[in-house]
Amino acid sequence: MFPEQVEQDLRAAGWTPKRQVDPESWLSALEADGRLRRHSAVIAFLSEFGGLAVSISGSGVSCAREPFELDPLLCLGEEDRFSEWSEEIERSIFPVGVLDEGRFFLGIDENSELYLVETWVASFGRMPEAMNNLILGVQPTVIHDGSD
């Protein structure tokens, strides 16, 4: 399913094929104020990858390989950011974690596209290729640079 390096890094973080965790506590916490709504892609993503902390570093394909943690609760308080970007790009981006020790947020839309979310938005592509790009250090494509 994943290239060898990606699978090694995921396994080192505790991932296994067919891994299943219950995402309900993450989903309900982020939906509590009504600005965000779960979709099937975030449920599937968090069921397989939720709770993983991937400790990587070094040079990548086109950018540095940065550590990331797939814990949506690290995005609590950022619901406005996700709902506003969702509206701006006409997608439903749900938080899934952080990149580079909290420097950037990660979210996934209803089409399983993984985003870097900040004062701008960039895409790592659709899963599973997005996970490859994130781990191998492929520069995400800027979708919106935050300027009007």
Instruction: Per-residue pLDDT tens, the chain, 148 aa: give them.
Output: 799 999 999 999 999 999 999 999 999 999 999 999 999 999 999 999 999 999 999 999 999 999 999 999 999 999 999 999 999 999 999 999 999 999 999 999 999 999 999 999 999 999 999 999 999 999 999 998 877 6
User: Domains in the chain: how many in total?
Assistant: 1
Residue 22: give the domain boundaries: 4-143
Residue 125 covered by a domain: yes
Residue 31 covered by a domain: yes
For residue 129, give the amino acid letter: E
Residue 118 covered by a domain: yes
pTM over 0.75: yes
Residue 148 covered by a domain: no
CA 36/CA 75 separation, integer angstroms: 12
